[in-house]
Amino acid sequence: MTNLDETRRHFFERCGVGVGKAALTTLLAGDALAKPHFTPKAKAVIYLFMAGGPSQFEMWTPKPELQKLHGQYIPDSFLAGKRFAFMDTSFKDKPKLLATKREFKQYGQTGTWGSNLVPHTAAIADDLTFLHTVSTENFNHAPAKLFSTTGYTRFGRPSMGSWVTYGLGSESKDLPGFVVLQSGPRGPRGGAPLWGSGFLPTSHQGVLFRSSGDPILNLSTPQGVTPRMQSQVIDTIRDLNAVRNESMVDPEIATRIAAYEMAYRMQTSGPELIDFTKESKETLALYGVEPGKPSFAANCLLARRLVERGVRYIHLWHTDWDHHDDLTKPLEDVCRQVDQPCAALVKDLKRLGLLDDTLVVWGGEFGRTPMGEIRDGKTGRNHHIDAYTMWMAGGGVKPGVHFGRTDDFGFNAVEDPISVHDIQATVLNQLGLDHTKLTYQFQGRNFRLTDVAGNVIQKILA
């Protein structure tokens, strides 16, 4: 035994750290104590978030009447009481209906309509569950994203991934239970609170990964530090924190200890996780992954590998979907970036027998208007919150289903309207969690992801 080891041992014995460690073990066992309210259909969720608001009219929702009445004013009855982010309906020259220039055809046994922007995803339409009547509460990007992920339009609430790990814990000992991946030209508006833990213990916040290099910045051991030296540092920090926890009994101290130890284990599990050399050429080609190059495709493959390793909730953000003034090349580029990888992820999970218990969710914070928006002589579409399209796959939802119907212009839901809170309630339900019972007391009252709303979308469940 070295002098350092002997000094540490005697110091912590005198401090009574043995009792502290026992208490700490109980705190850190929270994940092991978590359990579903009922038998789950899914073990994991992969949420493919298209940040900016993808246009349902250019991909999934052809409207013959909209094509026919292109250039005409939308009836005033549709605009009464409505507000838009960048469109003043009080002007005499009200917005005009905008037809799509995209070509649509039907796919699969379900006859699902898909455009030439999404041929790969449309080709697997029989494996997907489409939700055509989703509505949300805010027409600005950051609040709408917060609403989609936290159930509230302002900062401070836990994200859905945090609620999931709070309710279920994680099956992985070497990786976080909630992982966040980003792609696109920038991060999503709203930033880290979109995957934050809010008032839940910070052990439940999302951990931002990268798909190349170190999965997490500063994860690698500094040059000149041996494994033994690092282990001694980690042990010492852990024991000091345990002493502090003995007097404070603060769950954030337990979180800090768990974070150090998780980072230590991830120095082995992390590099192996992003080592795509073990994937076949066929798999890389399926996703369209270029090894060593960060992309949405790489993140989709990484999401599958995370599910295989027991990670509970994986949230992918892909930005640049905000098309106010150009529905041509910018939209074509972003669709090209995600179409093949989305289809590949579903096919790969199905091939490996993982789709049945992995719920894949695709969508943005809102959709786009059936009316055109003109900027600098170019025409795009404004933000639309009343009815837009999302899809799900696997995880106990019925494949090949089209849920909900909109009017001839795609403006309002006329059959089976649903809300973001309904989406959240359904995701939790598939994981075996009752959204009305998954609560946390804060500032004197119980909070939940779905606030005082939300219904499970029973019609889409297998």
Instruction: Note the pLDDT of residue 243.
Output: 74
DSSP 8-class letter at 192: G
The SS3 assignment for 397 reads strand
CATH architecture observed for domain 42-213+279-460: 3-Layer(aba) Sandwich (3.40)
Q: How many CA atoms lie within 13 A of 411 on its CB side?
A: 19
Amino acid (one-letter) located at 240: L
Burial (CB count within 10 angstroms: exposed 0-12, middle 13-18, buried 19+), residue 452? exposed
What are the residues facing 106 on neighbouring strands?
A: 113
Q: How many CA atoms lie within 13 A of 371 on its CB side?
A: 24
Taking only the tens place, the pLDDT of each residue in 207-231 is: 998 755 555 655 556 666 676 766 6
Interatomic CA distance for residues 355 and 358, integer angstroms? 5
Instruction: Provide the residue ranges of all domains of the chain, joining segments of one domain with +.
Output: 1-33+224-273, 42-213+279-460
Taking only the tens place, the pLDDT of each residue in 152-196 is: 999 999 999 999 999 999 888 889 999 999 999 989 999 999 999
Query: Quick check: 392 and 361 in contact, CB under 8 A?
Result: yes
Q: How many CA atoms lie within 13 A of 309 on its CB side?
A: 20
Report residue 301: phi and psi, to 5°.
-65, -40
Taking only the tens place, the pLDDT of each residue in 151-163 is: 999 999 999 999 9
Interatomic CA distance for residues 395 and 390, integer angstroms? 15
Taking only the tens place, the pLDDT of each residue in 278-314 is: 899 999 999 999 988 999 999 999 999 999 999 999 9
